[in-house]
Structure 1
Amino acid sequence: MTSSWRALRRRLLTPDVAETSLDKRGFHKKSPAAQERLETVGKTFLTGYAHAVEARTPADAEGPIEEQVTDWLRGFAYEGAGMGLAMLDGLPFGRTDNVRTFVELPVGRRYQYLVYVGIGWAMARLPRFRWPGAADLDPVLAPLVLDGYGFHQAYFRTARYVDGHYQNPNFPWPGGRHGWYANRAIDQGIGRALWFIGGTDPDLVGDLVEGYAPERRGDLYAGVGLAATYAGGVEEHELRAVARRAGEHLGSLAQGAAFAANARINSGIVPPHADLATGVFCGTTAEEAARTTIELRPTEPGDGDVPAYEVWRQRLANEFISLGGVNT
C-alpha cells in the first residue's frame, strides 16, 4: 500500500478533532485548566488513532507517537492506536491481525490495557459481525474491551447512556458463561466517561453517578477512580471530595485507581497526579498500588461463575478496604 493511499485512509477514517471539544460535546467546564486538560486528552487519543490507521505496519505506529506525544499523554495515544488498529481489523479487506501483532510488541505489552480499551471504541463503530473474537484476547483482560465500549457510548451518546441510563440487558459480546458480566464492565467504562462529562468536578461527577440505579454505582465509581488517577485534572482536596461521595463504594474507587497505577507503571511513566490520586484513594504510592495489583491478579482465567477479571477487582477492593487505605 502506497504512502499516499495510507494518508488518504487516515483522512477518511479519523474523526474530526472538534468531536473532542467540551463545547461540542456539551460537557461541563469546571475551569479553563480542566477544559484544556480534557480536550488535550481527546486530541491525543485522535493523534494515536491517526498514526495507527496511516502506519504501514502496526509496529510503525510506535515511532510517531513516541516522537510527537508528551510522555504522560502517550497512554491516551496508544488507546487511540488500539481503536485505529481494531478499525483496520474490522475492514472487509486487508490484514486482520493488526491488534494481535501490536500487543505482541514490547510497546504493545507496556500499553496492553490501553490498547484493549481502544478495541472497545472500535466495536462501538463497527458492525457486529466485524467485532473481534473474545478467544483472541487475554482471557483475564478481555473485559477492558467492554470498558472501552462503555466509555465511547457515554462520551458520544450521552443523552442515551448518561441522561437516560440506558443498558442493553442482552449485550451480545463476549457471550458464553460470563456473558452476564458484560454490562458491569460497560458500566466501568461509563464511569470513566463521567469524569470527562462532569469536567472533573467532584460534586457533579458524584451527582451523575448517583443518577444511576444503586446496584450500578460500584462499577461506575471504579471507572471514576481509574480516570481520576490516570487522567488527573484535580487537586488533593477534590480527590478527597470524590472519596467522600463514593461512600460505601470506596473499595471500588481504590480498585480503579490501582488499575490506573498499574497501567502507568507498566508504561514506565508515572506523572505526579497518579501518585497523588493513589495516595488518597489507596493510601499508598502508585508503585505500591501497582505491585498489589500484580500480586492479586488471578493466575488462571477462571472457569467459575465469576470471571477472573471480577475476582481480581474484588480482591483489590477488599485489600485496600482492609488496609484502611482509602482516605477521606
Structure 2
Amino acid sequence: MNALRVIRRKIMTPNRSATRMDVRGFHVKSPEARALLETVGGAFLDGFGIAAEARTPAAAKMPLAAVPTRFRGFAHEGAAMAFAIRDGLRPGGRNVARFLAGAGADHIYMAYVGVGWAMARLPRIRWSTLHSPDPLLRWLVLDGYGFHQAYFRTERYVYDLYEDSSLPWRDVTAPEYASRAIDQGIGRALWFIGGTDVEVVAGLVERYPRPRWADLYSGIGLAATYAGGATKAELTALWDHAKDYRPQLAQGAAFAAGARAKANLVCPHNEVATRIFCGQPVALAQKVTDEAMVDLPSDGPVPAFEVWRQRISEAFVRSGHYALTATEQK
C-alpha cells in the first residue's frame, strides 16, 4: 500500500518547474526575490505531495510541521489542495474535513485558499464536493481560485483583464460578490507575477478598471505581508502607490497578520509590513481582525465576509494611519 501512495503522489503532484519564474514568464526583480518566490512555490508543492501520499490527513501532520516556519503556511495550503482533489475524485471522501479538524486547524485561512486551488483543477460537476463549511471563511475558496487563475492563466486574467462575473457559487444571497472575492486572490497573485517589484505590481493594478482596484490592493497587502520579498523602503513605496486604497491594503495586511499569528508562524518581515501598512505590530493587527469579527450580521446582499473586511478597513481609517505618506511614517 505504501508503494501505491508513492505512485499517487507522483501522479498527482504538479511538476516543480511549474513554479519557476522563467517558466511562468513572471518579472524577476532580483535573484533574491526570485529565490524567495520559487521557494514559496516549492513549499506549496511539498505540502501537496505530502497530502497526496499520506494515508490519512493525520499522517500528514508531522511532515508538514517539519517545513521551515516561513514557508509552513504555504505547505498547508498545498496540502489542502491535494486533500480537496482527492475528495473530488473519490465520492464520499472526507479528507478536507479531517484536515481542518486536525493538522490544518491552525492554518484554516490557508487551507480554505488551498481548497480554492482544487476548485480550479476539478471539473465544475465536482465542485459540490469542496468542503468549506464556515459561511464566513468560504469566500477564501474563491480567493484561492482567483490566485490560481491569475498565476496559471496570466494572459487571460491579468493581461486580458478577464473577470469571472458569472461563476456559479453556493452562496445565493450575494452571488455577485464572487467576482470580488476572486479579485482579492488575483491581487495576491500580482505580487508574485510582478516579482515583488512594487513599480511593476502597481503598474499591473493600473491596467484594471478602477472599480477593481480596492480588492486587488487588498490581495496585494496580504501577499506582501504574508510572503514578503520587499524591503521597508519598497513597502513604503507601495503604501504611497495605493493612495486611496490604503485602508484595503491595511486590511489585507491584517488578514495576513491573523493567519500568521494563529498558526504561530510570525516572522520578522511580517512585523515590518504590518507596521507600515497597519501602523502597528502583528499582534495588534490580528486583534483588529478578531474584534471586527464580533457580532457579524447574517449573510445578505452584502456577505458577512465583506462586512468583516469593511470593519477592519474602517478601524485603520479611524486610526488616521491610512492618511500618512511614506515620509510621514518615518
State whether structure 2 residue 237 is matched by structure 1 residue 241.
Answer: yes
1:56 aligned residue: 55
1:146/1:27 CA distance change after superposition, 3 Å? same
Match for 2:88: what amino acid?
G
Name the structure 1 match of 2:89.
91
1:103 alignment partner, one of 97, 100, 109: 100
Cα distance in 2 between the residues matched to 1:102 and 1:66:
13
- Flag structure 2 segments of 5+ consecutive residues without an equivalent: none
The within-5 A match list for 1:154-165 is 154-165=150-161
For the residues of structure 2 that align with 1:13 and 1:262, how far apart are their CA atoms? 31
Report how far residue 26 of structure 1 moved: 0.3
What is the rounded CA distance, in whole Å, between the counterparts of 1:205 and 1:231 in structure 2? 15
Deviations 1:85-133 (A, max 9, x none): 101010035x51111111111x322100000000000000000111146
Which residue matches 1:287? 283
Distance 1:136 1:197, change over 3 A: closer
2:298 maps to what in 1? Answer: 302
What is the rounded CA distance, in whole Å, between the counterparts of 1:4 and 1:134 in structure 2?
A: 27
Aligned counterpart for 1:179 among listed residues 171, 175, 182: 175
Partner of 1:211 in structure 2?
207
Q: Which residue of 2 aligns with 1:12?
A: 11
> What's the counterpart of residue 32 of structure 2?
33
Following superposition, the deviation at residue 145 of structure 1 comes to: 0.3
Correspondence for 2:78: 80
The alignment-based identity, stated in percent, is 52
2:149 paired with 1:150: no
1:311 and 2:297 are equivalent in the alignment: no
CA distance in 2, matches of 1:310, 1:302: 11
What per-residue deviation string (whole Å, max 9, x for no partner) do you get for residues 25-73 of structure 1?
Answer: 0000000000000000000000000000110001111111112x11121
Q: TM-score, normalised by structure 2?
A: 0.96
Does the CA contact (< 8 Å) of 1:27 and 1:198 recur in 2? yes
SS of residue matched to 1:123: helix
CA RMSD, 1 decimal: 1.3
Taking a change above 3 Å as real, the CA distance of residues 39 and 135 of structure 1, as seen in their structure-2 partners, is closer
- Is 1:190 the equivalent of 2:186? yes
Shift of the 135–48 alpha-carbon distance from structure 1 to 2, 3 Å rule, reads closer
Q: Give the letter aligned to residue 99 of structure 2.
A: F
Paired with 1:42 and 1:72, the residues of 2 have a C-alpha distance of: 12
| Structure 1 residues 118 and 104, CA gap change in structure 2 (3 angstroms) | same
Opposite residue 100 of structure 2, the aligned amino acid is V
Letter in 2 for 1:92: R
Measured after TM superposition, the shift of residue 137 of structure 1 is: 1.5
For residues 268 and 279 of structure 1, the distance between their equivalents in structure 2, rounded to whole angstroms, comes to: 18
Residues 255 and 317 of structure 1 are in contact (CA less than 8 Å); yes or no, is this contact kept in structure 2? Answer: yes
Amino acid at match of 2:176: W
Structure 1 moving runs of 4+ over 2 Å? 132-136, 298-301, 325-328
Return the alpha-carbon distance in structure 2 between the equivalents of residues 136 and 189 of structure 1.
17
Q: Any idea what the Cα deviations from partners look like across 1:124-157, whole Å, max 9, x if unmatched?
A: 0000111146785200001000000000000000
Contact 2:9 2:52 in 1 (8 A): yes
State the Cα distance separating 1:168 from its structure 2 match: 2.3
Partners of 1:298 and 1:311 within 8 A in 2: no
Counterpart of 1:66 in structure 2 is 65
